[in-house]
C-alpha cells in the first residue's frame, strides 16, 4: 500500500501541485504556515473523508475559488488505482478508477495510521479523541461501513427526537417510529461496541509490551472500555446488547426531553490505566504521550499480523513533540517496518536513519513544494 503521486488543484494554499513519492520515507520540510500539513491532510482526507484537525469545508478550497480537486495514484493489493476527490458546494465526491465510489470502500482499500499532536494528546482530551483512536483501528480492519451505518442510524434517531421536542404537540406515532428506528440502532450500536472491545483486547499484549519498553520499566498497564461508566471490555456481544437496551429504557424520558440520543457508542469512552490509576490524572504528559505512541505502534504491528502488510504512516509534526527517549523508540520502530512514511517537520536536526535511496525530502514554501537539494 503506497501513494505513488499526488496532484492538488486549488486545495488550501496550493494553486496547482504535482508530487511523485518515494516508496520509503517522504519528508515535508518547511516553516509553520507554509503548507506542510496541508499536503499530508489532503492524502488523509482522500482516504478517510475527514481532516485530522479542526476544519470547515470552505477552508479546504483555495481562497476566492469555488471548488478543489485532488487526484492520487495509489497502489493496493498489487494494483495501481487512480483515486480522485472533488470538493464543491460543501460536498465530497469520490471516484476510484474513474467510477464513483463510497468512502467506506476507499477506507477499506487504503489503510493508514496517523500520528499527530492531537492524537498524542488523546489521553487528556475529551472522549471523542479516544474514540477516534479505536475507530481508526476498525477502519483499517475493514469496518468503515459499520461505522458509517451507525452514524447514519444515529443521525436519523436524533432527527426524530429533535423534531418531536420542537413540535408544539408530540408527533403522532412518535413512540412507534422511535421503537422502529431502535431495532436497527441498537443492533448497530451493539456491533460497533463489540468490534471496539474486540480490537482493544487484540491490541492489549503488544500495547503493554511496547509501553513498558518505552518507559524502560515494568508497569501495570491496561485499558477499560466504558459504556455509561461501566467497563465492558470483556463483555460478549449479547451482554453489550442487554446493557444498551436497559440503558435505553432508563434514559428514554431524558432523551425525549433533550431531543438527542444519550446512549450508544458515540457516548462511550476509553480509559488508559497505569498501575490501576486513570492516565488522565495519574500520568505525566510524557507518560500520556508514551501511551498513545505505544497504542499506535501496537496498531501497526497488529495490522501487519491481520492483513499481511503494513499501512501507510503519517507523522504530522510529531518528532518535535517527543522527548529524545520517545523519539528514539519511534524512529527505531520505523526502521523495522516496511511501510511508506510521510513526515512533516520544520527542520532537519533530527537524524533520519534511512538509506538515501529510501528518503525523499520536499521543501514547502507558500503553497509550493519542490524536491530538496543541499
Tell me, yes or no, if the two domains 1-111+311-374 and 117-287 fold the same way.
no
Query: pLDDT at position 357, please?
Result: 61
Strand order in the sheet with 79-88: 14-20, 2-11, 67-76, 79-88, 91-96, 99-100
Query: pLDDT at position 168, please?
Result: 87
Q: pLDDT digits over 268-278, tens only?
A: 999 999 999 99
For domain 1-111+311-374, say whether CATH 3.40.50.300 is its number: yes
Domain-wise residue ranges, the chain: 1-111+311-374, 117-287
Asked if the model's pLDDT at residue 306 lies above 80, the reply is yes
Residue % of the chain over a pLDDT of 70: 97
Asked if the model's pLDDT at residue 243 lies above 80, the reply is yes
Q: Which residue has the higher pLDDT, 322 or 269?
A: 269
Asked if the model's pLDDT at residue 204 lies above 90, the reply is yes
Residues 6+ apart with CB under 8 A from 197: 225, 232, 233, 234, 235, 240
Query: pLDDT at position 75, please?
Result: 94
Q: What is the sign, positive or negative, of the torsion defined by CA atoms of 320, 325, 328, 333?
A: negative
According to DSSP, the β-strands at 359-365 and 368-371 are: antiparallel
Query: pLDDT at position 297, please?
Result: 94
Query: pLDDT at position 352, please?
Result: 61
**DSSP assignment, residue 366?**
T
Asked if the model's pLDDT at residue 179 lies above 70, the reply is yes
Query: pLDDT at position 26, please?
Result: 93
Q: What grid cell was written down for 127?
A: 472522549
Q: Count H helices and E strands in the chain, helices first.
A: 10, 16
Q: What grid cell was written down for 328?
A: 528514539
Query: pLDDT at position 58, please?
Result: 94
The residue behind cell 501496537 is 298
Most confident range, picked from 112-121, 264-273, 328-337: 264-273
CATH code of domain 117-287: 1.20.1050.90
Query: pLDDT at position 331, please?
Result: 86
Asked if the model's pLDDT at residue 315 lies above 90, the reply is yes
The predicted model gives 72-87 an average pLDDT of 95
Asked if the model's pLDDT at residue 91 lies above 70, the reply is yes
| Length of the chain, in residues | 374
Most confident range, picked from 6-15, 304-313, 347-356: 6-15
Query: pLDDT at position 374, please?
Result: 61
Query: Do residues 49 and 144 make contact, with C-beta atoms less than 8 angstroms apart?
Result: no
Q: pLDDT digits over 32-55, tens only?
A: 999 999 999 999 999 999 999 988
User: Measured between alpha carbons, how far is 126 from 247 in angstroms, rounded to an integer?
Assistant: 22
Query: pLDDT at position 334, please?
Result: 87
Query: pLDDT at position 217, please?
Result: 86
**DSSP assignment, residue 50?**
S
Q: pLDDT digits over 331-359, tens only?
A: 888 888 889 999 999 887 666 656 666 78
Asked if the model's pLDDT at residue 66 lies above 70, the reply is yes
- 214, burial (CB in 10 Å: exposed 0-12, middle 13-18, buried 19+): buried
> What is the overall mean pLDDT for the chain?
93
Would you give the distance in Å from CA 83 to the centre of its chain? 19
Amino acid at each position: 500500500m503506497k501513494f505513488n503521486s499526488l496532484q492538488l488543484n486549488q486545495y488550501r494554499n496550493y494553486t496547482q501541485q504535482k508530487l511523485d513519492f518515494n516508496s520509503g520515507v517522504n519528508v515535508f520540510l518547511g516553516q509553520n504556515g507554509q503548507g506542510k500539513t496541508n499536503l499530508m491532510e489532503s492524502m488523509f482526507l482522500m482516504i478517510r473523508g475527514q481532516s485530522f484537525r479542526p476544519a470547515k469545508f470552505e477552508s479546504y478550497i483555495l481562497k476566492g475559488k469555488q471548488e478543489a480537486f485532488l487526484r492520487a495514484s495509489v497502489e493496493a493489493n498489487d494494483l495501481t488505482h487512480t483515486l480522485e476527490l472533488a470538493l464543491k458546494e460543501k460536498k465530497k465526491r469520490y471516484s476510484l478508477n474513474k467510477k464513483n465510489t463510497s468512502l467506506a470502500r476507499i477506507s477499506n482499500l487504503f489503510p493508514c495510521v496517523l500520528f499527530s499532536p492531537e492524537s498524542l494528546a488523546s489521553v487528556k482530551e475529551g472522549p471523542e479523541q479516544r474514540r477516534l483512536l479505536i475507530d481508526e483501528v476498525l477502519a483499517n480492519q475493514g469496518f468503515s461501513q459499520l461505522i458509517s451505518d451507525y452514524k447514519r442510524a444515529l443521525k436519523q434517531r436524533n432527527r426524530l427526537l429533535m423534531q418531536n421536542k420542537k413540535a408544539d404537540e408530540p408527533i403522532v406515532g412518535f413512540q412507534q417510529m422511535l421503537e422502529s428506528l431502535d431495532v436497527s440502532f441498537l443492533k448497530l450500536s451493539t456491533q460497533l461496541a463489540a468490534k471496539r472491545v474486540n480490537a482493544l483486547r487484540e491490541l492489549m499484549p503488544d500495547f503493554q509490551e511496547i509501553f513498558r519498553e518505552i518507559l524502560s520499566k515494568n508497569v501495570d498497564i491496561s485499558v477499560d472500555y466504558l459504556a455509561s461508566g461501566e467497563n465492558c471490555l470483556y463483555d460478549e456481544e449479547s451482554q453489550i446488547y442487554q446493557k444498551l437496551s436497559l440503558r435505553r429504557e432508563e434514559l428514554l424520558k431524558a432523551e425525549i426531553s433533550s431531543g438527542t440520543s444519550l446512549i450508544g457508542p458515540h457516548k462511550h469512552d476509553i480509559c488508559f490505566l497505569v498501575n490501576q490509576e486513570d492516565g488522565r490524572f495519574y500520568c505525566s504528559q510524557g507518560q500520556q504521550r508514551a501511551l498513545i505512541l505505544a497504542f499506535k505502534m501496537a496498531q501497526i504491528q497488529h495490522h501487519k499480523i491481520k492483513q499481511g502488510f503494513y499501512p501507510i504512516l503519517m507523522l504530522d509534526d510529531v518528532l518535535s513533540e517527543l522527548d529524545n527517549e520517545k523519539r528514539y523508540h519511534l524512529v527505531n520502530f520505523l526502521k523495522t517496518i516496511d511501510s511508506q512514511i510521510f513526515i512533516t517537520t520544520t527542520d532537519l536536526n533530527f537524524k533520519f536513519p534511512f538509506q538515501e535511496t529510501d528518503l525523499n525530502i520536499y521543501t514547502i514554501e507558500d503553497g509550493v513544494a519542490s524536491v530538496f537539494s543541499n
